[in-house]
Amino acid sequence: MTYEELLAENHRLRERIRELEQENARLKGLDAHVLYESEPPVYGLRRAMTEDEKEEELQRRVTLFRSLFRGREDTYAQRFVAKDGRRGYQPACRNRWSYDCKAHKYKCDGCGCRDLIPLDDAIVRRHLHKDAKETDVIGLYPILEDNTCFFLCADFDDKNCEHGYRDDVLSYVHVCKEWGIPAYIERSRSGNGAHVWVFFSEPIMAAKARKLGFAILGAAMEDDVRMEMKSYDRFFPNQDFLPKGGFGNLVALPLQGLAKHNGNSLFVDEGFVPYKHQWTVLASVQKQSATEVSIILSQHDSCLELSSSSDTKPWETPKPDRLSFEDFDGPVKLIRAFGISRVLHLFEIQSTMSC
């Protein structure tokens, strides 16, 4: 390089250093108590945010978070850590562990003194806080009281998967891309799995959302016959309809402070590298409408035979349930024909023995 070129490069680097110093000063002015990624830097002179501006920005992010991860708001699940080390979730209740609480004897849905705590902004802030404890994790119930939902979350983990979960996740996401479905990968809280999120612009029936997920799974396996989807665990929502008296299965929400500090519960690219600006990703999320979901299902409804049972893998042939006498309201008229005489004879013997 010539002297003039070296001088110009020196000048460019000094300018870059000055811009970075200004950006560093701006970041130091942000609230030190909240662990949020900064937005993409804007170079040049920029004053520190005032307390009112910090609060406004914080509330904007809480509102964005709640607009995406929408479920029941009259209650939520709170994570607990028992004295013996057991971990789990339970409906957040004001009477939990009070004198009247019988959680050690009965399920919450049958408790007469249950006083559920609604989900609000303060609870979401605590979930996102950088100093959040393990017990501050929000477990969201995706199915609303009218059996609709605002998202579909596919859960993949490494528990029984020899080849790892990533190939399965990428196959699932590849089908989403082919079908024009925006999908977003989140590394799980444990770091040993992933969630793939699809968001809806309006509430759609949980059964339809799950049907969409099963169709995507089936198409992913058709594209690569070597894929066994052993890492697939379940969908959220995990039921087509709310169980009587219950809330359905919960899903732990992303960006929880403690997990995030450990490099987990973050949104990642297809190389499973966390995005630098998590909130920019969330702000750019695209949602599917109910009409779009219906069109996709009409085009790909033959991908697999679906099951409404959360315990049945969608690609496995469902096993028929055994019939019992309680399944019939009254006498059953059977026509004896070739090939079923022996079956009818055994049925008659069992009927006699049960009398």
Give the length of the chain: 355
Q: What is the mean pLDDT of residues 230-258?
A: 92
Q: How many CA atoms lie within 13 A of 100 on its CB side?
A: 9
Q: Is 94 exposed, middle or buried (0-12, 13-18, 19+ CB in 10 A)?
A: exposed
CA-to-CA separations, 100 to 93, 260, 340, in angstroms, rounded: 12, 36, 59
Is 25 a residue whose pLDDT tops 70? Answer: no
Query: What pLDDT, on a 0 to 100 scale, did the predictor assign at position 223?
Result: 80
Strand order in the sheet with 193-205: 232-236, 148-157, 193-205, 184-187, 267-268
Query: What pLDDT, on a 0 to 100 scale, did the predictor assign at position 253?
Result: 97
Query: What pLDDT, on a 0 to 100 scale, did the predictor assign at position 275?
Result: 96
Least confident window among 1-10, 44-53, 55-64, 122-131: 1-10
Determine, yes or no, domain membership for 342.
yes
What is the C-alpha separation between 6 and 63, in angstroms, rounded?
49
Determine, yes or no, domain membership for 340.
yes
Residue 346: domain span: 325-354
| Cα angle value 247/321/159 (rounded, 5°) | 55
Is 348 a residue whose pLDDT tops 80? Answer: no
Task: Calculate helix-pair angle for 166-178, 206-223, nearest 10 degrees.
Answer: 110
Count how many domains the chain has: 1
pLDDT tens digits, 171-222: 999 999 999 999 999 999 988 899 999 999 999 999 999 999 999 999 998 8
Determine, yes or no, domain membership for 233.
no
Query: What pLDDT, on a 0 to 100 scale, did the predictor assign at position 29?
Result: 46
Compute the mean pLDDT over every residue in the chain, rounded to the nearest whole number: 80
Determine, yes or no, domain membership for 159.
no
Determine, yes or no, domain membership for 339.
yes
Is 36 a residue whose pLDDT tops 50? Answer: no
Reference 80, options 266, 334, 252; nearest CA is 252
Query: What pLDDT, on a 0 to 100 scale, did the predictor assign at position 107?
Result: 63
- The tokens of 223 are what? 């594209």
Determine, yes or no, domain membership for 260.
no
Is 340 a residue whose pLDDT tops 60? Answer: no
Determine, yes or no, domain membership for 334.
yes
pLDDT tens digits, 80-92: 888 888 888 888 8
Determine, yes or no, domain membership for 134.
no
What is the C-alpha separation between 161 and 174, in angstroms, rounded?
20
